[in-house]
Amino acid sequence: MPVIRELVVATKHQDAEDVVSLRLAAPEGGTLPAWQPGAHIELHLPSGRKRQYSLCGDPADRYRYRIAVRRIADGGGGSAEVHDGLGEGMRVAVTGPRNAFPFAAEAFLLLIAGGIGITPILPMAREAARRGLDWRLVHTGRSRGSMPFAAELAELAAAAPGRVSIRPDDESGVPEAAELLSLSPAAGAVYCCGPAPMIDGVRRAFGDSRASALHFERFAPAPITDGRPFELQLGDTGRVLPVPYDRSALDVLHEALPDLPFSCRQGFCGTCRVRVAHGHVDHRDRRLTATERAAGAMLPCVSRAPEGERLVLDV
């Protein structure tokens, strides 16, 4: 089981429109577990919600973790709880850090961030600068006011002339993925984090670019690909829930079971795990082992069933 630590909100700061950053520290002032760029922690909020946020501070600071949270109106309430319910001096339970977006520090790099996607990318840029790598960073967003860490990015740009580009959509237009990828050094590795449309565009355009590798992290539910309708049965109650081709099993389950926990919605944290008592699962997660799958575990945020089949859940 992951170790749960109780941390205190040392500072809370408004970093952009609808974005607050929190620095979390051990109540007794002790050191925190080490982390590397790309890592995240999971907040266990007072409501019982669990949400994952990238660490965006300095890995050398062993006394504080920094996260940034954008308020999402239809995001399930977690971001609103951080914005409205967590204040300086309050305590919050945390697990992690874990890293599902590791930074390999390749010699040639292009770092692409969309909006709040700058959170894992900023520590990567600083690490690339520290190591003397050949890197470029481009940060896109709706407007300058909506893009967090403007002052820190300006400092980074001043220290590394020509390596940082800020691209607000209301000034430069929405950039094409091919345009972003053209900034990559030859044979460069691309790290991309942001909204799903941006990542999908970068993935489609990557094959025609001169970059050599693509790493990405989404800050949104994983898109449903090759979706087929199927059914979920809630245990012995006999209640059957249809899952259409364009919705996840988690979305449908959450309507029927509002207290069902979830976090990443991308198949790697394991928070939404349920047990399947009967039926064949089309596993699409990156978390469960073969043994866990054989025992009936399923992550309904991404996994499904073949068309027309019914999964009986032990819930």
**Residues 304, 230 contacting (CB under 8 angstroms):** yes
Question: What proportion of the chain, given as a percentage, has pLDDT over 90?
Answer: 75
Query: Cβ of 84: how many Cβ atoms within 10 Å?
Result: 11
Q: What does the buried/exposed string (b/e) look like for 113-132 if buried means 16 or more CB atoms within 10 Å of the residue's CB?
A: bbbbbbbbbbbbbbbbbeee
Which helix (H) or strand (E) segment holds residue 201: the answer is: helix 196-206
Helix extents (H) in 222-283: 249-256
Q: What does the buried/exposed string (b/e) look like for 271-301 if buried means 16 or more CB atoms within 10 Å of the residue's CB?
A: bbbbebeebebbbbbebbeeebbeebbbbbb
**Model confidence at 315, in pLDDT bands (50, 70, 90)?**
confident
**Residues 27, 8 contacting (CB under 8 angstroms):** yes
**Residues 202, 180 contacting (CB under 8 angstroms):** yes
Instruction: State in Å, rounded, how far the first CA of the chain is from the last one.
Output: 21
CA-wise closest residue to 68 among 155, 2, 153: 153
DSSP class of residue 287 equals S
| Antiparallel, parallel or unpaired: β 91-98 and 64-70 | unpaired
Please provide the average confidence, as pLDDT, over all residues in the chain: 92
- CA angle in degrees (0–180, nearest 5) for 258-265-58: 120
Q: Which domains does the chain have, with CATH numbers?
A: 4-98 (2.40.30.10), 108-218 (3.40.50.80), 230-313 (3.10.20.30)
**Residues 180, 77 contacting (CB under 8 angstroms):** no
**Residues 48, 109 contacting (CB under 8 angstroms):** no
pLDDT, one tens digit per residue, over 143-190 is: 999 999 999 999 999 999 999 999 999 999 999 999 999 999 888 999
pLDDT value at position 221?
66
pLDDT, one tens digit per residue, over 237-296 is: 889 999 999 999 998 998 888 778 776 777 777 778 999 999 999 999 878 889 999 999
**Residues 267, 273 contacting (CB under 8 angstroms):** no
Angle between helices 118-131 and 150-159 (to 10 degrees): 20
Which helix (H) or strand (E) segment holds residue 15: the answer is: strand 4-16
Which helix (H) or strand (E) segment holds residue 19: the answer is: strand 19-25
Evaluate the omega torsion of the peptide bond into residue 37 and state whether it is cis, within 30 degrees of 0. no
